[in-house]
Amino acid sequence: QVQLVESGGGLVQPGGSLRLSCAASGSISRSNAMGWHRQAPGKQRELVAIITSGGNKHYVDSVKGRFTISRDNAKNTVYLQMNSLKPEDTAVYYCILSQMGNDYWGQGTQVTVSS
């Protein structure tokens, strides 16, 4: 089994920054992808950013240039540095780990961008 624990959400003003962390534990494959999805009220969950164990990254267009995903393979931890936050970034952010055909999800952390 795999467990994911997220941290770092909160309330921030427009233009501000937050850093999300997600630590994975359990049966972690050396080959996997870790990343973040988000779900805003009344909207479908969407992929925000993902990074493979080899370091390949992908971002949704709306966050390119503002968000940076990174990972520490030794700690099985993925990070999402979010800069220049906008009100439309408000959502619950979910960590995901994909390996061997399975997806594992964190419990979600709320990010609210508001003045």
Q: Residue 52's pLDDT is what? A: 96
Q: What is the DSSP letter of 17?
A: -
Nearest by Cα to 52 from 67, 68, 70? 70
Letter for the amino acid at 19? R
Instruction: Please tell me the distance from the alpha carbon of residue 73 to that of residue 56, in angstroms, as a whole number.
Output: 13
Summarised one tens digit per residue, pLDDT across range 51-101 is 999 999 999 999 999 999 999 999 999 999 999 999 999 999 999 999 999
Strands 109-113 and 10-12: parallel
Q: Residue 105's pLDDT is what? A: 97
For residue 3, the SS3 value is: strand
Summarised one tens digit per residue, pLDDT across range 102-112 is 999 999 999 99
Q: Residue 85's pLDDT is what? A: 98
pLDDT average, residue stretch 23-39: 96
Q: Residue 56's pLDDT is what? A: 97
Q: Residue 73's pLDDT is what? A: 93
Number of helices (H), then strands (E), in the chain: 0, 11
DSSP per position, 83-106: -S--GGG-EEEEEEEEETTEEEE-
